[in-house]
Chains A and B, each alone.
Chain A
Amino acid sequence: MSKNEPGATRRAVLLGGLAGSLAATIRLEPAQATPERMRAAIRNVVGEASIRKGRIELDVPPLVENGNTVALGVTVDSPMTATDYVKAIHVFNEKNPQPNVISVHLGPRAGRAKISTRFRLADSQIVTAIAEMSNGTFWSATADVIVTLAACVEGI
């Protein structure tokens, strides 16, 4: 190869390689929920109603070793009577491939507005829980979670 070959300098080749690897990184990145997508998902459920902080307690460990199973507990402060009860609890995340985690529908017969389950977290992020009351108000709580081993990324 001639040293003076035009258009194929070492710099150009290196830059080309760099651009190629950048393009590959971008292409391989999976579709991800973003804080905006989470807000959109929340709006989808809540509609135009305003969301207030409080009355709901989100129980998630602050530091998670394995994102594949994370204990999740949600307790809503409500008397759970026939006229004043929790209609639904929704849980959302920011950075999993999808913003929704779970939606549960309760009624006055639940007696206590408390649920627990296990869920997946793909990254360190903020988890949001929204409670829908029988009078149409919405209440929210958030929790910061740090994840050391992420779910969803491993192949087979």
Chain B
Amino acid sequence: MGRPLINVPAKVKRGQVFEIKTLISHIMETGFRYTTTGAQIPRDIVTAFSCSYNGEEIFRADLYPAISANPFLTFFTVATESGTLDFKWVGDNGFSETATAKIVVE
């Protein structure tokens, strides 16, 4: 299972645009590599990521094998209300990981 890492500012002003940085540990095996015996290594990647702010989706990404191991993603959002940010990663072989971050809007 992947270990998520989230970086959001603890406090932001209302209406301020702030950056969210996310990273999850995952091998992101492309499915295009072979072992020394010639066997193809099956694909094992994170295929989708989404982030919701107080239950409403604000960001979604479809990932492909071209994304590096330990997918790192940063994006922005506008501070509206204090609450929680929910992050979700979904991938091959039933991979699913969630994380939450608290945000205080002044």
Chain A, Cβ-Cβ closest to B16: A111
Chain A, Cβ-Cβ closest to B29: A156
Please measure, in the bound complex, the distance between the C-alpha atom of A101 and the C-alpha atom of B69, giving whole angstroms. 13
Interface residues on chain A, number (Cβ under 8 Å): 33
User: At the interface with chain A, which of B1-9, B71-79, B86-94, B98-106?
Assistant: B71-79
Contact A100 B77 (CB under 8 A): no
Interface footprint category on B: 20 to 34
Contact A156 B59 (CB under 8 A): no
> In residues 45-91 of chain B, which contact A (Cβ within 8 Å)?
53, 56-69, 71-78, 80
Q: Chain A contacts of B62 at CB under 8 A?
A: 100, 102-104
Contact A112 B33 (CB under 8 A): no
Interface residues of A (CB under 8 A from B): 30, 68-70, 93, 96-98, 100-107, 109-121, 152, 154-156
> Which A-B residue pairs are the 7 nearest by beta carbons?
A111-B17, A111-B78, A112-B76, A118-B68, A100-B64, A105-B60, A103-B62
